[in-house]
Amino acid sequence: MEKVLIIGANGHTGRIIATKLKDAASYIPVAMIRDAGQKDYFEEMGVQTCLGDLEEEFESCYKTVDKVIFVAGSGSSTGKDKTESIDKDGAQKSVDLAKKHGIKKYVMLSSMGAEDPDPDSGMHHYLSAKNLADEHLKKSGVPYAIVRPGALTHKNGTGKIKAAFQLEEQGEIPREDVASVMIHCLDRDYGTGLTFEILSGDQDIPTAIEGLRQV
């Protein structure tokens, strides 16, 4: 059994990942929380926690884990300073710690548009921060997968997606399906060294990711 640190565990997608990993045969989730008040939620569902803050100190969370899923984000209601400190600086520091502690696989939640942020977009600052974090991970030497979904929804997952290194369309995808993709990428045989975009589609997740590996 491998322990998986979920950075951003208390967010919508992070909670879904924690729930799914709790019942997985090969993984034990460890939810990184910033506030001790968040501990009860996870412990009631049988998920371990560790205290860590992306803007301060969180290295202690790495001491007993094997792999990392990063789904943290500053949120749409915060300013550019939080985007900088969490989506870029915090993410980059988490990658550096992954390298320092010999993490076997790091799965990063990014965003469509992060490959080449549009300077005229209202999301340019956010996408630029994501781009810098992604590039830092790519150059780190840590085995990785970078998942770039379209607009996230709270709909029920279907288990069906479309995936490409760059999709020539915009669209949506349920958070549940994004969570499933990221968990699937924890396996070193799937998605390692890949950066890809996903939307809702008609292929099951393993087939869609396997198709990328064969390109």
Which residue matches tokens 């900088």?
Answer: 84
Chain centroid to CA 204: 19
pTM above threshold 0.85 = yes
Spatial contact of 67 and 77, defined as CB atoms under 8 Å apart: no
Q: How confident is the model at residue 124 (pLDDT cuts 50, 70, 90)?
A: confident
CATH code for the domain in which residue 46 is found: 3.40.50.720
How many other CB atoms are there within 10 angstroms of residue 23's CB atom?
A: 9
Residue 112 is encoded by which pair of tokens?
């469509």
Q: What is the mean pLDDT of residues 168-188?
A: 94
Q: How many domains does the chain have?
A: 1
Q: What's the residue count for the chain?
A: 215
Crossing angle between the packed helical segments 12-22 and 175-184, to the nearest 10 degrees: 50
Spatial contact of 97 and 37, defined as CB atoms under 8 Å apart: no
Q: What is the mean pLDDT of residues 167-189?
A: 93
Closest to 158 (Cα-Cα) out of 177, 181, 172:
177
Mean pLDDT score of the chain: 92
91: part of which helix (H) or strand (E)?
A: helix 91-100
Spatial contact of 33 and 49, defined as CB atoms under 8 Å apart: yes
Q: Is 126 a catalytic residue?
A: yes
Which residue matches tokens 């999709």?
Answer: 167
- Which residue range(s) make up the domain with 161? 2-213
Question: SS3 for 134?
Answer: helix
Spatial contact of 62 and 104, defined as CB atoms under 8 Å apart: no
- Kindly report, residue by residue over 23-32, the tens digit of the pLDDT: 998 999 999 9
> What letters, b where the CB count within 10 A reaches 16 and e where it falls short, cover 200-215?
bbeeebeebbeebeee
- Kindly report, residue by residue over 2-53, the tens digit of the pLDDT: 999 999 999 999 999 999 999 998 999 999 999 999 999 999 999 999 999 9
| Set 27, 106, 126, 190: catalytic member | 126
